[in-house]
Structure 1
Amino acid sequence: MSSSNETITKTLTVVISLCLVCAVIVSSAAVMLKPAQKINKAADMQRNILLAAGLLSEGENAAAKFKEVVDVKLLDLNTGKFATDRKAADFDYRAAPRDKEISIALDAKDDIVKIKRRSNIAPVYLAKDNGKLSSVILPVYGAGLWGPMYGFIAIDPDATTVKGIKFYEHKETPGLGAEIENPKWVASWVGKKLFNDKGEIAITVQKGGVTANDPQKMYKVDGLSGATLTSNGVQFIFTFWLGEQGFGPFLQSVRNGELTHG
């Protein structure tokens, strides 16, 4: 009996030791890889920002291009002014809504994007061409059919005309809602007007398509066929983030010629 117990004890000792060694190896690998993962994540985000604005050619280095043409600023959404007390490089926009010190809970009637909390601080990306503003790129997100949809919208310096959009993360159905990534649909946004002459949000994702003779077609984008809920989600995203709860006050200041690089 004693010999049997010793065998079980030895077996358990070996198993536990092996598990501890494996845990140490996995933990060490995770720690070692974290800096590289952070760099890759930042590079991928920079790539999506540039693609939204049509600023990245095939084969170009995204990180180098981004550094060359884009300034990152943090915006106080409550005032529409740049926040100068924080560094953009250290700011995690995706985590910010969970920080109650810099975010607010949204009333259900206002939360059309179903995000529950909104950060008071948000990054904006100012692309330049020969020192002049060429695009304002804004991060936007909200609920889709199966989960959140994250993207960017690039706007001309008039703060009204769409230069491009890019949805880079979502869980929409392939062939249906996932068509938000379809180059043809993405291209249909280019040149559309976000606001009417009164400064009111006018962009509409229209179910049933947009006819060529529609006098309001400059404000309309075809809805996605067979993906009404995704199309609605996209509409809500732009309605929310272009409005008073989002980047609306900032875009108004751009239209008024008040933008300073600071």
Structure 2
Amino acid sequence: MDRNSNAYTFLFVILLIAIVASALALTATSLQPAQAENVTNEKMQNILGTVGIEVARDSAQIPFDKYIVERIALDSKGQERSDVDAFSVDLKKELKKDVEEQSFPLYVADIDGAKYYIVPLRGKGLWDAIWGYVALKDDVNTIKGAVFDHKGETPGLGAEITQMWFKKSFDNEKILDSSGNFVGVDVQKGYQGGDNKADNAVDAISGATITGDGVTKMITERLQNYLPYFQNNTNVKVASN
């Protein structure tokens, strides 16, 4: 074939594209196990972070196995599901189902004899998904800690939900009111409560009202699904809404 012909040029380009595409596909396939391991380790790291266990992502497995003593998948009535692995539940997929068909993962931690219940969260911010975890002390009312992340919130605004100052504002907040009714935690614009930990509210991020509202809704929507389990499996009397 004439190397100066258009046919030769087109054939050369096609072969080059095929070689590059094959190389990229092979690379992507070879990286999948490492990527999956990173996702698993980061999930463990975040769960541990809600109860004050700060570890590097690559070192999360050992402390996770030490401190997380139960991994439970619940149905919408608060009953344990033996057919579902809690750690494998994908909330992105679950939220596309009717509530009655969803599985609700719950992690139980034991830190020096203190018991904590860790609930995965997922919701919607201004631009895309937001998610995280919140740990409740054994009174199933007081928040031990929380972590949040996002897919596409605005840097300096909604993306501030990942910052320590915002996460720490949830420490020791209550999710029940004085009568024991579930109310969640309101990310409140213009909050004037100071250090009040019994008003079920924290200060919002300036200029990120929609993201803050998303955090509020995410916490309320997710936690309310665990009330039947807490009512039946703890000594705390959670009032029915």
Which TM-score tier does this pair reach, normalised by the shorter chain? 0.7 to 0.9
TM-score, normalisation: structure 2: 0.84
Q: Is this contact kept in 2: 1:140–1:153, CA < 8 A?
A: yes
CA offset digits 1:139-164 (Å, max 9, x no partner): 11111111121111111111110001
Q: Secondary structure at the match of 1:242?
A: helix
CA offset digits 1:64-111 (Å, max 9, x no partner): 21122114524233121221012345443433445xxxx31x7xxxxx
1:68-147 to 2 correspondence within 5 Å? Answer: 68-71=66-69, 73-88=71-86, 90-98=88-96, 103-104=97-98, 120-130=102-112, 132=113, 134-147=115-128
CA offset digits 1:32-57 (Å, max 9, x no partner): 11111100111111111111221125
1:31-50 to 2 correspondence within 5 Å? Answer: 31-50=29-48
Q: Gapped runs of 5+ residues in structure 1? A: 107-117
What's the counterpart of residue 52 of structure 1? Answer: 50
Aligned length, in residue pairs:
236
CA RMSD of aligned residues (A): 2.9
Greater Cα offset, 25-34 or 178-187? 178-187
What's the counterpart of residue 229 of structure 2? Answer: 250
TM-score, normalisation: structure 1: 0.78
The alpha-carbon distance between structure 1 residues 193 and 254, as it changes in their structure 2 partners (threshold 3 A), is farther
Q: Gapped runs of 5+ residues in structure 2? A: none
The alpha-carbon distance between structure 1 residues 231 and 87, as it changes in their structure 2 partners (threshold 3 A), is closer
1:1-262 to 2 correspondence within 5 Å? Answer: 7-57=5-55, 61-71=59-69, 73-88=71-86, 90-98=88-96, 103-104=97-98, 120-130=102-112, 132=113, 134-202=115-183, 203-212=185-194, 217-243=198-224, 246-256=225-235
Q: Is this contact kept in 2: 1:125–1:136, CA < 8 A?
A: yes
The CA distance in 2 between the partners of 1:20 and 1:57, in whole Å, is 43
> Which letter does structure 2 place at the counterpart of 1:127?
A
The alpha-carbon distance between structure 1 residues 160 and 59, as it changes in their structure 2 partners (threshold 3 A), is same
What's the counterpart of residue 113 of structure 1? Answer: none
The CA distance in 2 between the partners of 1:49 and 1:237, in whole Å, is 17
The CA distance in 1 between the partners of 2:213 and 2:186, in whole Å, is 10
Percentage identity across paired residues of the two chains: 28
The CA distance in 2 between the partners of 1:176 and 1:59, in whole Å, is 26
What's the counterpart of residue 112 of structure 1? Answer: none
The alpha-carbon distance between structure 1 residues 184 and 213, as it changes in their structure 2 partners (threshold 3 A), is closer
Q: Is this contact kept in 1: 2:188–2:201, CA < 8 A?
A: yes
